[in-house]
A = this chain, B = another copy of it.
Amino acid sequence: MANTAPLESFFNYVDQNQDHYVARLREAVAIPSVSADAGHREEVFRMGNWLIELFKQLGISYEAADVGTHVVDGKTLKLPPILLGTYGNDPNKKTILVYGHYDVQPALIEDGWSSDPWKLTEDSTGRLVGRGSSDDKGPIIGWLNAIEAHQKAGVEFPVNLKICFEGMEENGSEGLDDLILREANRYFKDVDAVCISDNYWLGVTKPCLTYGLRGISYFKVSVSGPGRDLHSGVFGGTVYEPMTDLVILLSKLVTTDGKILIPGVNDDVAELTDEEQETYKSIEFKLHELHSAIESQTNIFDNETRTLQARWRYPSLSIHGVEGAFSASGAKTVLPCKVSGKFSIRLVPNMDPDKITAYVEKYLKEEFAKLGSKNKLHVECLHGAKAWVASPNHWNFVAAAKAVEKVFNCKPDMTREGGSIPVTLTFQDALNKNVLLLPMGRGDDGAHSTNEKLDRFNYIQGIKLLGTYLHEVAKTT
């Protein structure tokens, strides 16, 4: 028996059961499913089982894919299962694949949390504070809440849903890529489009749809000389010091104001079109938001558009640190025998990681040769991933934009992001389908920080958003 005002019934049910959904999120946050810490691995499995129980309650058929083991600190650990779910199998409906992760970042109250990170705590402004609230337990439970609300409100579910929830996202997504490739023509065969809710609004007031992410090439440049660390008193002045060479090389990578100095690297950056330039005009973003995010006024560009472009559509180069040198506080007079600089280049269309590696290696070797040092140089790309850009005009995005309008009464910002979410590219390439990033939380949720939070407003409206998006998908042709 179809409901005559399906969205209204769905919305009403969600609003009336807010506290039930918050309680459910609280249950999930109470499981410290930290994937990066071997000591918490059991908790990640417990979180997977908690989801499986919910799948059963909701009538979602599932497979808990065993993706094997990995070695951490010499110990072999089982990888948490990747939960594959199927809800609905109607050949007349579209099939949407939703992805999320049930593992979380580490958290210790001593790090400066205002409350126990594993106890979801609501403050007076409706902020639900707890590890994983926004990244990514709120969103994945949001999908399941939407299913439940349809069932309880007697509203027909508008699409077939395929679910892919992993438990290793915060620790390199081990096993995921292989599984996606393996299941592309099996479990994911009928998927028409993909939706990932694992990022954030640009700011704190306006929803957004995200259609692009920068890629990354991460480099390690090592200079070695002596066979062991030396005392600088005894040997300073008589040997070629690896650290001297390394800082000279690192100083030649990028200027203070961010211009990359490696020949070739900037050549393949896609031209900024007039159409693209136009899209920046409507975006809700003010420099003071950047200032409050970076807690300083040390921004390079004095206007919003150029700042967003620098973040989204131009490459950048950051030097992260030095391995092998003295890094503690105090004064140690060591002359380190081998030091490695770490830096990464954020990639944008149409930069190719292999070409970037070639440019970097060639440049560093040439610059090192100019030094005339007797030390040895080694350059290595630790990983490379190209940028991702989807078409924001695809029906998947159009449906999401309409859903935003229905739930929030405004047009979403069309955003890109500076960081990478590797699975996005994997889904796009393996399934050859449009991928949409549809965030639930706000830009200030502090996903990997202390006091991570998800606003009650975002959680509850987010459940509506995810459900409405599926209704809009169903309406597209």
Contact = CB atoms under 8 A, between A and B. Distances in A.
Contacts of A240: 256-258, 298-300
Interface residues of A, number: 85
A186 interface: no
Interface stretch (A27-35, A123-131, A176-184, A322-330): A322-330
A323 B329 contact: yes
B233 A417 contact: yes
A296 B335 CA distance: 14
Given A250-B251, A297-B374, A236 B418 contact: yes
Interface in A293-323: 293-301, 307, 310-311, 314-323
Interface in A97-112: none
Contacts of A331: 218, 220, 342, 344, 382-383
A66 to B, nearest CB: 26
A326 to B, nearest CB: 3
Interface string A210-248: 000010101010000111101111111111110111011
Given A237-B310, A311-B238, A243 B374 contact: no
Nearest to A254: B244
Given A233-B419, A256-B248, A375-B298, A320 B333 contact: yes
Contacts of A290: 238
Interface in A413-429: 417-420
Nearest to A376: B298
Nearest to A237: B316
Contacts of A334: 320-321
Contacts of A225: 294, 296, 298
A336 interface: yes
* Most chain B CB within a 10 A radius of its CB, from A220, A237, A328, A329: A237
Contacts of A234: 311, 417-419
* Most chain B CB within a 10 A radius of its CB, from A220, A257, A258, A321: A321
B237 A320 contact: no
A115 interface: no
Contacts of A214: 233
Contacts of A244: 254-256, 258, 318-319
A371 interface: yes
A189 interface: no
A256 B247 contact: no
Contacts of A235: 293-294, 311, 418
A9 interface: no
A346 interface: yes
Contacts of A321: 243, 322, 325-327, 332, 334, 336
Contacts of A251: 247-248, 250-252
B256 A371 contact: yes
Contacts of A418: 233-237
Nearest to A226: B294
A318 B301 contact: no
A74 interface: no
B258 A346 contact: no
A39 interface: no
Nearest to A307: B238
Contacts of A256: 240, 244-245, 248, 371-373
A300 B238 contact: yes
A322 B327 contact: yes
Contacts of A337: 295-296
6 contacts: A227-B295, A230-B293, A238-B310, A244-B319, A321-B334, A321-B336
